[in-house]
A and B are shown apart, each in its own frame.
Chain A
Amino acid sequence: MDTSEIQAKVVEIIGRYAKNKEAAATATETTNILEDLKVNSARLVDVILDFEDEFDIEVEDDDADAVNTVGDAVALIQSKVA
């Protein structure tokens, strides 16, 4: 799976929880998940669980805490699926 495929899936997953649907539609790797997409912080657990299901990976809590942007999520997933 290449980076653009991962990013498309990441954006789709985060988009489920984004209050700002317009920003979700045009998200790039620098888009901040909480601030730009207006995802409720309590939803980050849901996002991580969806990543685990979608990509068949396990994400440690410390790794999850370091995810702020779409690009952070893509890089994390890429390191796990590689």
Chain B
Amino acid sequence: MTASSAAGTTLGPVEILELLPQQEPFRFVDEILEVDEDHIVATYRYRAEADFYRGHFPGNPVTPGVILLETVAQVGVVALGIYLVALAGGRDEVKRTLALFADAEVEFSGVVRPGDRVTVRATKVFYRRGKIRSEAEMTLDDGTVVCTATISGMGVRT
């Protein structure tokens, strides 16, 4: 996309995870199963010991919707964004860029309990001028769709 595209690098799942800036206790991606220019598939298992379950809700732990949305964003915007930025400008460009949440339209349709594993499948809608938008679906292992979202992020130079 830019003149620096000659420096482009195709990253694999493990390399993307290494470059993902979010870390414990705010990392919600365990494994990337598939990634290419147009889509990404990744999984995460919610840790039963996560602090937010103490309050959401006492005696009845439910994963907060904002955490599900964050999970979708870390996969569909940040991880896919890292792949796309590297493809155009290489690893150095990834390290200079921070992906920040820009906008989202989201619907929740199921409950995710502590210890549940989810799979996020996200498809790129567009990637232009540093902005990425994806359509994503989160499912439980039994196939139940718990969250669908259209999410966008903006790559900001740091």
Contact = CB atoms under 8 A, between A and B. Distances in A.
A44 B129 CA distance: 10
A49 B127 CA distance: 11
B6 interface: no
B154 A42 contact: yes
Contacts of B152: 42
Contacts of A42: 102-103, 131, 152, 154
A61 B102 CA distance: 19
A76 interface: no
Nearest to A41: B154
Contacts of A61: 128-129
Interface string A36-61: 00001011110011000000000001
Contacts of A45: 126, 128-129, 131
Contact of B126 (A40, A43, A49, A64): A49
Contacts of A49: 126, 128
A61 B126 CA distance: 14
Nearest to B154: A42
B148 to A, nearest CB: 20
A42 B128 CA distance: 11
A43 B129 CA distance: 11
A81 to B, nearest CB: 20
Contacts of A40: 102
Most B-side CB within 10 Å, residue of A40, A44, A45, A48: A45
Contacts of A44: 129
A48 B128 CA distance: 10
Contacts of B103: 42-43
Most B-side CB within 10 Å, residue of A40, A42, A43: A42
A45 B102 CA distance: 11
Nearest to A44: B129
Contacts of B128: 45, 48-49, 61
A42 B152 CA distance: 9
B20 to A, nearest CB: 21
Q: What 6 A-B pairs are tightest by C-beta distance, nearest first?
A: A42-B102, A45-B131, A42-B154, A45-B129, A61-B129, A45-B128
Given A43-B103, A45-B128, A49-B126, 4 more contacts: A42-B102, A42-B103, A61-B129, A64-B129
